[in-house]
Amino acid sequence: MPPRLLFTIVFIEGYCSLGAEIIALRRLIPHVGSSIVVTAPTIGLFLLALALGYHSGSRVETDYRAVVARNFLISAALMGAGLAGDSVNAIFAAAPAAMAYLIFIGTILCPLAWLLGQTVPILTNLMRAQRSGEAAGRALYWSTLGSFLGSVTLSLGVMQLFGVWAAVLLGAVMLVAGSALVQRPRPLAATLLAGVAGLGVVANLGDRQRADTAYADYQVEAVARDGMQSPRAFRVNNQVASVIDNSEPPRYARYVQHLRRILLEDLAFSDRDILVLGAGGFTLSHREPANRYTYVDIDPAIRAIAERDFLREPARGEFVATDARRFVIETMHRYDAVVVDVYSARTSIPGHLLTREFWRDTRHALKPGGVMLANLILDGKLASPYARNLLATIESAYGRCAVEVLDKAAERSNVIVTCFANTDGEATRVYVDERNLADLDSARSP
């Protein structure tokens, strides 16, 4: 095989194998989130399948071109159809999340990695080199270069400009082309190649209507809510992020109305600066001219999608597309209120936005005496380890906070936490029968 052709095929293998991993991690976000307990096993299982592919490829002794062409063809079908949005959604709709995850990894991602992993050890048999190390090194160079470019161009280029569907389709088409390059297809093989390419097109072109970006899936749908006129929900990664209806004035999701009431009625905010971490549907500032709002969200496309499909009018306030933690660390501005409403999927908050350090950073972004409001989704009784530990983490940064469970009978409920950036007071103590200072403390309190 001519060296240029061989290195082109190896490059395609590297580009598409790591591209498939990047796409798989992105497809998993709406269903199981992006925490380390999801990404680490996914990457580990992918690498295990890749290693097994290397071993299997090293044992191939004949028909090198035919084996690689077949592997590329099967991989193109797995990528084009298996990583399509509807396919992944169907898997998670048919089984519990943990089982669906294993099905997705075991039937789509790992087989794809195993097949493509065989490419380099097989094709090095066709290289003319004086030393086996030279052959392997050159092949691995082009494969790794393809992996690098695949991860960068798909995540920062194709997904950002066109959507996840385009990245899936590009990978499938490249694998079909690679299969044809490895071995000139006969009529039957050419028909199979055309069929697999057509399958990828059919499975993914429908996703063009889906508002998905490199960060999230978005959808606006009609919902039923008591007391609301023709309400519609803004879903972000399969979670209802916000609700608005057609009444005048509009009504919003219960937790948003609760936050607005705290800010506008309880605290009587007017002409204040309010920072909102996690844009949602931009309903906190909707038709609210009394204060100045700054929204921070990781996805630069969310504002345009919310304005076009959900609000159907311009959103009030400034918008900054960056990571929430990075913003509160770097901002020199101080705000009267910080609203934390950051979710990547269902009940999943990104892990780096849960730590004591993050909550301390939000406090540094507040003016003295400013208020931090956090919307959390926890069990209604606040009895789970996650609920107790998260609330304790927030209070380790702010001191005592008010905690309001909006639906105490629900298995999961919106929980609004209100904390003030007051100066640290004296250490707390417990009242006991032998030394009860409750009356003294009460007399000293305002």
pLDDT tens profile 289-332:
999 999 999 999 999 999 999 999 999 999 999 999 999 999 99
What per-residue confidence (pLDDT) applies to 34?
81
- Which pairing describes strands 335-340 and 402-405: parallel, antiparallel, or unpaired? unpaired
Of 76-90, 124-138, 222-236, 305-319, where does mean pLDDT reach its minimum?
Answer: 124-138
Q: Tell me what the mean pLDDT of segment 43-72 comes to.
A: 94
Q: What is the pLDDT of residue 190?
A: 87
Q: Where are the domains of the chain?
A: 3-212, 224-420
**Helical residues (DSSP H) of 118-215, grouped into ranges:** 119-123, 132-153, 159-161, 164-182, 187-205
What is residue 292's three-state secondary structure?
A: strand
Give residue 345's pLDDT. 58
Fold annotation for 3-212: Growth Hormone; Chain: A; (1.20.1250)
Mean pLDDT of 111-132: 86
Full strand arrangement of the beta sheet holding 239-244: 211-212, 217-222, 232-236, 239-244
Give the residue among 301, 80, 290 at the shortest CA–CA distance from 202: 80
Question: 441: part of which helix (H) or strand (E)?
Answer: helix 438-444
Confidence (pLDDT) at 344: 65
Q: Residue 6: is its pLDDT beyond 80?
A: yes
Q: What are phi and psi of 79, to 5 degrees?
A: -75, -50
pLDDT reported for residue 129: 63
Over pLDDT 90: what percentage of the chain? 64
Predicted local confidence at residue 189, as pLDDT: 82
Give the contacts of 431 (CB within 8 A, at least 6 positions apart). 437, 438
**Cα separation of 422 and 401, whole Å?**
11
User: Is the pLDDT reported for residue 281 higher than 60?
Assistant: yes
pLDDT in tens, 368-411: 999 999 999 999 899 999 999 999 999 999 999 999 999 988 88
Residue 231: which pLDDT band, with cuts at 50, 70 and 90? very high
CA distance 144 to 146: 5
State which fold the 224-420 domain adopts.
Answer: Rossmann fold (3.40.50)
235 vs 127, more confident: 235
CA dihedral 143, 37, 110, 182 (to 10 degrees): -20
pLDDT at position 426: 67
Q: Is 230 helix (H, G, I), strand (E, B) or coil?
A: coil
| Mean pLDDT estimate for the chain | 90
Residue 28 makes CB contacts below 8 A (sequence gap 6+) with: 34, 38, 42, 88, 101, 104
Task: Give residue 445's pLDDT.
Answer: 67
Cβ proximity of 423 and 387 under 8 Å:
no
Length of the chain as a residue count: 446
Six-digit token string for 17: 């194998």
Q: Rounded to an integer, what distance in angstroms lies between the CA atom of residue 146 and that of residue 46?
A: 17
**Chain segment 178-217, per-residue pLDDT in tens:** 999 998 888 888 898 899 999 889 988 877 767 788 888 8
Calpha distance 408→404 (Å, rounded): 9
Per-residue model confidence (pLDDT) at position 255 = 93
